[in-house]
Amino acid sequence: MNRSAFAARLLRWFERHKRDLPWRREPRDPYRVWLSEVMLQQTQVATVIPYFERWLRRFPTLEALAAAPLDDVLKLWEGLGYYARARNLHAAAQIVLRDYGGQLPRTVEGLMALPGIGRYTAGAIASLAFGARAPALDGNARRVLSRVFGLSRPTAAELWALAESLLPRGRAGAFNEALMELGATICAPRAPQCAACPLRAMCQARADGAPEAYPARPTRQKTPHHEVLTVVLVDGAGRALLGQRPRDGLLGGLWEFISAELRAPNPDAQGRPGCADLADLILRRSGLKVRPSRAQPLGAVKHAFTHFKMTRQVWLVRLPKPVRAPLRPQGYARLVWATPEEIEQLALTRSDRRIWAMYRARPPSLFD
């Protein structure tokens, strides 16, 4: 295959058909390139655009991001998912300001030394912001290369070497972006638009008549499922108890209503968790001794993560008086009694935001 023809056709197509996206404004600002690449990981463009624009209004510069409290960063990221991205972005901004004079490193190696920046993100930033001759392979680019070159089960090393060999001199950034754009808009995982593809004449997968067979999909494993018990514990002052998850780990730094995985439930006659489960959960996670004899079910909230699914059984437990007893967080960074107004300002997990909406929408009861 003529590899210079590959790049030339791809770049001509890109110039005519590239989407007008807010992070593609020239001249490229390294901070905005970095932010967009982090937000676009595992997330579609249509979802990212409003987050990107809101983020820049709040944190227009790397310096503004580095100076912000992490709680503010997580609140602005709320709903975008994969929260480690936000924590790493914040930590890396502080490192760049402290150790690099506020200037992002210009090399792939230098960028990869920062939290949350792997080989793909480093290649994208280096090529798009600094013109470095570095490949950048996301899932879209991998799919295009696998199909054009007829690679059913390519290794990561093979694809990186192939991508680097295709880079045109002086236009690595545009080439990387064009390759990803083609995969995102034309060479889709299913029902690719081969007739509109600028590389159709040289595509081995199309010649074989089975473009969707490339690359071969791995065997899907059964997705684990976790049952979680959650209590919306409200005191006599109308405040709800929330715990902040440890900053290292899943959903780190976000707030949730008191929860724990339901391992050995003591169900009632209807198969629901009993008062003993609720009392044990509250005691273990907060140190409070509560007799939830008037517990009210709020419903179930289902949520899917990358590697597992979760169902949260949610109960409302009301306390007759404001709580002044000291709290002992077990497994939380801290606990807080929050008013409804304060809860709106906290960075909640997506499922906890739904739980809060369920609580606000519930019909009034005798205990309100």
Of 104, 65, 70, which Cα lies nearest the Cα of 84? 70
Peptide bond into 27 cis (omega under 30): yes
- Residue-wise pLDDT for 81-118, tens only, equals 999 999 999 999 999 999 999 999 999 999 999 999 99
Per DSSP, the residues of 26-86 read: SSPPHHHHHHHHHHTTTS-HHHHHHHHHHHHHH--SHHHHHHS-HHHHHHHHTTS--THHH
pTM (2 d.p.): 0.86
Residue 223 sits at φ, ψ, to 5 deg, of -80, 125
Say how far apart CA 21 and CA 39 lie, in whole Å: 13
- Give the model's pLDDT for residue 271: 45
Residue type, 362: R
- Which residues share a beta bridge with 234? 240, 318
Grouping H, G, I as helix, E, B as strand and the rest as coil, residue 360 is: helix
| Residue ranges for the chain with pLDDT beneath 70 | 1, 263-274, 364-368
Of 148, 276, 154, 257, which Cα lies nearest the Cα of 207? 148
Per DSSP, the residues of 322-359 read: ---SPP--SSSSEEEEE-HHHHHHS-B-HHHHHHHHHH
- Give the model's pLDDT for residue 284: 93
Is 37 a known active-site residue?
A: yes
Contact between residue 128 and residue 24 where contact means Cβ atoms under 8 Å apart: no
Q: Which of 37, 78, 177, 256 is catalytic?
A: 37
Q: How far is CA 230 from the centre of its chain?
A: 23
Which contiguous run of DSSP H or E holds residue 315?
strand 309-318
- Give the model's pLDDT for residue 276: 82
Task: Identify the architecture of domain 3-213 in CATH.
Answer: Orthogonal Bundle (1.10)
Say how far apart CA 38 and CA 10 lie, in whole Å: 24
- Residue-wise pLDDT for 15-60, tens only, equals 999 999 999 998 999 999 999 999 999 999 999 999 999 999 999 9
- Give the model's pLDDT for residue 293: 75
Cα separations in angstroms, 249 against 118, 124, 252, 353: 18, 26, 5, 19
- Which residues share a beta bridge with 256? 243
Say how far apart CA 191 and CA 180 lie, in whole Å: 17
CATH number of 225-361: 3.90.79.10
- Residue-wise pLDDT for 218-243, tens only, equals 888 888 999 999 999 999 999 999 99
- 212 CB-near residues (< 8 Å, 6+ apart): 189, 190, 191, 192
Contact between residue 102 and residue 127 where contact means Cβ atoms under 8 Å apart: no
Contact between residue 134 and residue 122 where contact means Cβ atoms under 8 Å apart: yes
Total length of the chain: 368
Domain boundaries, the chain: 3-213, 225-361
- Give the model's pLDDT for residue 250: 87
Say how far apart CA 279 and CA 26 lie, in whole Å: 58
The β-bridge relationship of strands 296-304 and 255-261 is unpaired
Q: For 349-367, b where at least 16 C-beta lie within 10 A, e where not — what string? A: bbbbbbbbebbeeeeeeee
